[in-house]
Amino acid sequence: MENHHSYQVNHLKQLESEAIYILRETAAQFEKPALLFSGGKDSIVMAWLARKAFYPAKLPFPLVHVDTGHNFPETITYRDQFVADIKANLIVGSVQESIDQGRAVEEKGAKASRNALQTVTLLDTIEKNAYDACLGGGRRDEEKARAKERFFSHRDEFGQWDPKNQRPELWNIFNGRKLQGEHFRVFPLSNWTEMDVWQYIKAEKIPLPNLYFADERPVFTRDGVTLAQTDFITLLPEEEASKRMEMVRFRTIGDATCTGAVRSNASTIDDIIEEVAAARQTERGGRSDDKRSETAMEDRKKQGYF
């Protein structure tokens, strides 16, 4: 009789194996997949896992970055280095281009964000390159609408998500069949939590953009959220007064105009893990795009957001 207890693996290894399985399933079931790479930690971990999934071959799909033009400069430096390191192909979809071509209209007012416009550029990029599956770093623990998302998430010919009519997913069997013009979003990290992601980054020694680590940064306050001062944001008179230098870091990295910073002294991965363990706010608690309404995420996802 074999000793079953020696065949236990910890839950991080289980999650890694599951994600690799999903990545390979995506390559096998679709003709032209792409991996959406934002430069945020989740997409970095996903790309890292993709490298493992197909080693020693290169990734069988490109990385696609939807560039709002409102990036933290560190994100772009990091992106280019990372892509070079793993010898991947990079495709950039530009929100600025969508605006210049009149396909997207910039939001008006001081609190304008290009976050919503990403959806237009993303759908355009998908259509132009005929991608039939886009791998995303979304996790179910992030937000209540995402908790209902499938690993293989079907999108109709308008790129929309219909949460009430999703295909059931059982065991480890994934149905990626689709009609002409439809596509899929695939989420290999569905079952990971924020803590799992950090523990994995630590265990694998994955390099990250500096933005995740605490530093003295120029910030201001908008609607109770601390935002970085950047060239893309016009401050309202009452916000001018809140300009200051502060030890902060970012728990998520998105468009610079809406990604909130948290006060923090966490300058190493270990510090961050400690901070995440003690956190009393969800990581998207700092995202002003989620605060626009109770179901803001669902509404954006239905339109075709990640």
Among 41, 79, 178, 251, binds other proteins (CB under 8 A): 178
Among 206, 221, 299, 303, binds other proteins (CB under 8 A): 299
Q: How far is the CB of 262 from other proteins (least distance, A)?
A: 12
Tell me the H-state helices in 57-205. Answer: 73-85, 95-100, 117-129, 194-204
Nearer to other proteins by C-beta: 103 or 291? Answer: 291
Angle between the N-to-C axes of helices 11-29 and 194-204, in degrees from 0 to 180, rounded to the nearest 10:
90
CA-based R_g, the chain, Å: 19
Give phi and psi for 2, each to the nearest 5: -80, 155
Q: Quick one: which segment of 7-15, 33-41, 126-134, 259-267 binds other proteins (CB under 8 A)?
A: 7-15
Q: How far is the CB of 52 from other proteins (least distance, A)?
A: 5
Q: Which residue has the tokens 């008006």?
A: 108
What the block records as the tokens of 243 is 């300009």
How many alpha carbons fall within 13 Å on the CB side of residue 252? 24
Binding of other proteins by 27 (CB under 8 A) = yes
Binding of other proteins by 132 (CB under 8 A) = no
Binding of other proteins by 86 (CB under 8 A) = no
Binding of other proteins by 263 (CB under 8 A) = no
Cα–Cα–Cα angle for 152, 302, 47, nearest 5°?
45
Nearest C-alpha neighbor of 119 from the set 227, 209, 231, 36: 36
Q: How far is the CB of 74 from other proteins (least distance, A)?
A: 26
Q: Quick one: which segment of 46-54, 106-114, 213-221, 245-253 binds other proteins (CB under 8 A)?
A: 46-54
Binding of other proteins by 232 (CB under 8 A) = no
Q: What beta strand segments (E) does the chain contain?
A: 33-36, 63-67, 90-94, 133-135, 152-155, 183-186, 215-222, 225-228, 244-250, 260-263
Q: Quick one: which segment of 8-16, 37-45, 90-98, 260-268 binds other proteins (CB under 8 A)?
A: 8-16
User: Are 137 and 280 a contacting pair, CB within 8 Å?
Assistant: no
Q: Please, which residues have CB within 8 angstroms of residue 238's CB and are 6 or more apart in sequence?
A: none
Among 14, 81, 101, 268, binds other proteins (CB under 8 A): 14
Residues 135-154 contacting other proteins, CB under 8 A: 140-141, 143-145, 147-148
Q: Please, which residues have CB within 8 angstroms of residue 244's CB and are 6 or more apart in sequence?
A: 218, 219, 220
- Could you give the CA distance from residue 60 to residue 296 in angstroms, rounded to a whole number? 34
Among 110, 195, 241, 245, binds other proteins (CB under 8 A): 195
- Could you give the CA distance from residue 211 to residue 89 in angstroms, rounded to a whole number? 24
Among 132, 255, 289, 298, binds other proteins (CB under 8 A): 298
The site that binds other proteins (CB under 8 A) totals a number of residues, namely: 65
* Local structure of residue 35 (DSSP, 8 states): E
Among 102, 109, 171, 205, binds other proteins (CB under 8 A): 171
Binding of other proteins by 31 (CB under 8 A) = no
Among 173, 216, 238, 278, binds other proteins (CB under 8 A): 173
User: Are 124 and 101 a contacting pair, CB within 8 Å?
Assistant: no
Q: How far is the CB of 100 from other proteins (least distance, A)?
A: 34
The residues binding other proteins (CB under 8 A) are 2, 4-5, 7-14, 16-18, 20-21, 24-25, 27-28, 51-58, 140-141, 143-145, 147-148, 163-164, 166-173, 175, 177-179, 190-191, 193, 195, 199, 203, 273, 279-282, 285, 294-295, 298-299
